[in-house]
Amino acid sequence: MKKTTNSVVLKEIETFHLENFQELCNHLASQDQDLKLILENHGYPPMWTRENTFETLVHIILEQQVSLASALAALNKLKEKLTEITPEKILRLSDEEMRECYVSRQKNIYIKSLANAIVNGEIDLEKLSKMSNDEVRKELVSLKGIGNWTVDVYLMFTLQRTDIFPIGDLAAVNALKRLKQLPPKSTKEEILEISEKWKPFRSIASMMLWHYYLSAPKKPKNP
């Protein structure tokens, strides 16, 4: 593994990118034996990122409480219909047309609420990229249907902030429980206490957990 930068410099890093991502993984592995085993057994996680666009936020809303495949199918159906997913084009679609694109009634409301906020100037994605994590969260959760999980994913994948732990993400939480051999009924507080040890790079630790979850799926129980 590469040698990490000194701790003073590490503390000043607020975003990750191609040049520092693996180095931050190495740093976490040097602090946590379980994360080190992920790297040794499965290699570095992909550096999952998304563009800072309306389409990306629509995609994240579609991913709420459904499989990634289902969300992607809906997103692709919208792209097929609109060519480009923009707030203006979304607002022109009827409820029936949204249903034809596999968008549920609730998510139709959430997506159009977001579209209206952008068209009306209430939300500016470029300005969000310059705000602190707390400021971004305050702006976005004021919109109908956008909660902390959606904001966490946006902060991590789109703004590439280094210190987010998505406590509402079942895959990340279950991977942590397996990795640390925690009881299935471990509390939210217990999970967060463990994640505190990965500050200020909890986003990178979360990606390592997702990588572990995808690379070492849980074996099914014998019938």
Closest CA to 155 of 184, 178, 129: 129
Distance CA(57)–CA(64), nearest Å, equals 11
Distance CA(59)–CA(154), nearest Å, equals 10
The full DSSP string for 137-184 is HHHHHTSTT--HHHHHHIIIIIS-BS----TT-HHHHHHHHHHHT--T
Whether the upstream peptide bond of residue 87 has omega within 30° of 0, thus cis, is no
The reply to whether 169 belongs to the active site is yes
Taking the alpha carbons of 189, 193, 198, 201 in that order, is the dihedral positive or negative?
A: positive
Which of 32, 152, 163, 169 is flagged as catalytic? 169
> Residue 60, Cβ neighbours under 10 Å: how many?
21
Contact present, 161 and 203 (Cβ < 8 Å): yes
Which residues belong to the active site?
169
